[in-house]
Chain A
Amino acid sequence: MGKWKIFYKRFAKRKTAVVGGVVIIIYLLVALLAPVLAPYDPLQIDLVHKLQLPSWIHWLGTDDKGRDILSRLIFGTQLSLSVGFVAVIIGAAIGVPLGLVSGYYGRWVDAVIMRIVDVLLAFPGILLALAIVSALGPSLTNVIIAVGIFSVPTFARIVRGSTLAIKRLEFVDAIRALGASDIKIIFGHILPNVLSPIIVQATLRLATAILTAAGLSFLGMGAQPPSPEWGAMLSNGRDFLWSAPHLAAFPGAAIATLVLGFNLFGDGLRDALDQRMN
């Protein structure tokens, strides 16, 4: 369709966005093909060959228990990406309907929902996630829930704003005048027209989610050893920062590139989708 071509042209103009997209695709492929790509079992302990520097045998070296760092990073990609995606889906699944309802009905419904959202927004994200994980107990599942919940207010806010703009358009009144139910108007007509900001937000939110999840695991609140989660690996590497810096450097670089990739891609999407496409 013509629209796609215009979108693609706009998007491709921003080289950084394309780079971001390529980074994301590479990571996705790595996650999908992890069992094929990983040269070793990520959990296989080999104390004889511990703390080895990168070599032809272990491309990225081994950690303090002799596990192959490359294999752990590759399997860690699966963890980070799924944490990110699931958390963002949770956040969007709750935040988007809240924003739609808030923006569409206005008045006291809007006031109540937005005040709750304000309370959630008042906390720094990581603090809120920490509080939630402390309450639920440390585990990767709880990290996903925590990151999901702290993504809710951003989605709710953005969707509310877009809904306010869309609901003033005459086609919404025309459909209302036909006798359509509110549910049909909200989900059948407003939602499809606020999808672009949601997609952009979801992409940018993925970066935050992955970073926060890694942060929580780094603090010991998330994935537990021996799980090859990047944040946990980084935390583990901290003890060998001077003797074997590659233990922390490689997981750190993995987190940084993936997060950067999502951010660049998200920015590009925003620029390409923001202007009215006609």
Chain B
Amino acid sequence: MSVKVGRERQPLLEVKNLKQYFPMKGGILGRTLNYVRAVDGVSFDVYEGETLSIVGESGCGKSTTGRAILRLDEPTDGEIRFQGVDLAGLNHAEMRKMRKHLQVVFQDPYASLNPRQTVGRMLEEALGIAAVLPKAKWRERVIELLENVGLRADQAGRYPHEFSGGQRQRIGIARALAVEPKLVICDEAVSALDVSVQAQVLNLLKSLQQRFGLTYLFISHDLGVVNHISDRVMVMYLGKIVEIAEKSTLFENPCHPYTRALLSAIPVPGQEKEGERIILQGDVPSPLQPPSGCRFHTRCFMATERCKIAEPELRPMGEEHSVACHLV
């Protein structure tokens, strides 16, 4: 990895060759017939204090990657080094102790809060699990957490259904921050919100990052959102990384044909976009039987014979820019 001048580049999280296969069972005996290769050997680093976004269509494995890092689903193979400790190698009890360092904010503001708990109870419970504060200080800390995310102290006694979607998402963020994590995985954290509320929550995430030195792994399908919040962007297609780069590099100089197709789909207000709008043909192939060679060749407008046979490696293109394509 190249070292950037003027900024400490410490990988907080190193993911190496992560694989997540889900067995497809069938038949009377429940034999494993095949595997869904949701994530098929991805490697990347997340540096301390940065926001790395993962973008891609639904089903490309971006959320699965997040869940595997948190070990919400047990990864099939690979290393997940967090501050040098391989999370995938920890047993159940050791993993539980590590969990407070990695938190998650989910997409659905309705399903992500327990409907039977008041907000105050929810946050107190998180404090109890983290076990860093004496019980006498919980109340005070709950109020602080609520205020950090822009809610009022007097709302602590309310149940989730008494809040709006954006407020619920703020509660989810407060819960994640209660245990003072280093890395927060935002899994489509603003995708379910109205555009105006989206902006508010994104700005909140940004200001919290600055205040508490958080590192974000930001999973989204929305390139506008990604452009707003990211330092670096990683593009996934069918369980593989196709391109990873600094945000400005990726948006200005996308190399992979898939990235180019994605970016050409962003509407530009007020003008007919000059240049090509690349429209991909067909659907995403099934991760049960991914295409041979380059997984994107079935839909690629540049595909050659070689793409059908040989799988492209992720090759460095320049500083902090890697692409998996034979043709660039």
Contact = CB atoms under 8 A, between A and B. Distances in A.
Contacts of B100: 178-179
Contacts of A173: 67, 72, 104, 106
A178 B112 contact: no
Contacts of B178: 178
B114 A189 contact: yes
Contacts of B70: 177
Interface string B102-128: 111011100111111100000001100
B179 A174 contact: no
Contact of B114 (A176, A177, A193, A278): A193
Given A179-B179, A180-B129, A278-B161, A170 B99 contact: no
B204 to A, nearest CB: 18
Contacts of B67: 173
B239 interface: no
A144 B101 CA distance: 50
B130 A179 contact: yes
Given A170-B108, A173-B106, A178 B130 contact: yes
A175 B106 CA distance: 12
B107 A178 contact: no
Interface string A165-203: 000011101111111110010001100110000000000
A176 B72 contact: yes
Given A170-B112, A171-B114, A189-B114, A177 B99 contact: yes
A189 B126 CA distance: 13
A189 B115 CA distance: 9
A179 B96 contact: yes
A170 B116 contact: no
B129 A174 contact: no
A193 B175 CA distance: 20
A110 B88 CA distance: 25
A1 to B, nearest CB: 9
Say what secondary structure dominates the interface of chain A.
helix
Given A170-B112, A173-B72, A192-B116, A178 B172 contact: no
B97 interface: yes
Nearest to B108: A170
Interface residues of A, number: 18
B180 to A, nearest CB: 12
Interface in B237-255: none
A193 B116 contact: yes
A208 to B, nearest CB: 28
A174 B103 CA distance: 8
Nearest to B105: A174
Given A189-B114, A193-B114, A193-B116, A177 B130 contact: no
Contacts of A193: 114-116
A227 to B, nearest CB: 43
Given A169-B111, A193-B115, A278-B161, A181 B72 contact: no
Contacts of B115: 193
A177 to B, nearest CB: 5
Nearest to A1: B159
A253 B114 CA distance: 45
A175 B161 CA distance: 18
Contact of A178 (B99, B111, B117): B99
Interface in B52-82: 67, 70, 72
Q: Ordered nearest first, which 6 A-B pairs have the shortest CB separation?
A: A179-B99, A170-B112, A170-B106, A169-B111, A192-B116, A170-B111
Interface of A: 169-171, 173-181, 184, 188-189, 192-193, 278
18 contacts: A170-B106, A170-B111, A170-B112, A171-B114, A173-B106, A174-B104, A174-B175, A175-B114, A176-B99, A177-B70, A177-B99, A177-B102, A178-B129, A178-B130, A178-B175, A178-B178, A178-B179, A181-B96
Given A175-B125, A179-B129, 15 more contacts: A169-B112, A170-B107, A171-B111, A171-B112, A171-B113, A173-B106, A174-B104, A174-B106, A174-B175, A177-B72, A179-B100, A179-B179, A181-B96, A193-B114, A278-B161
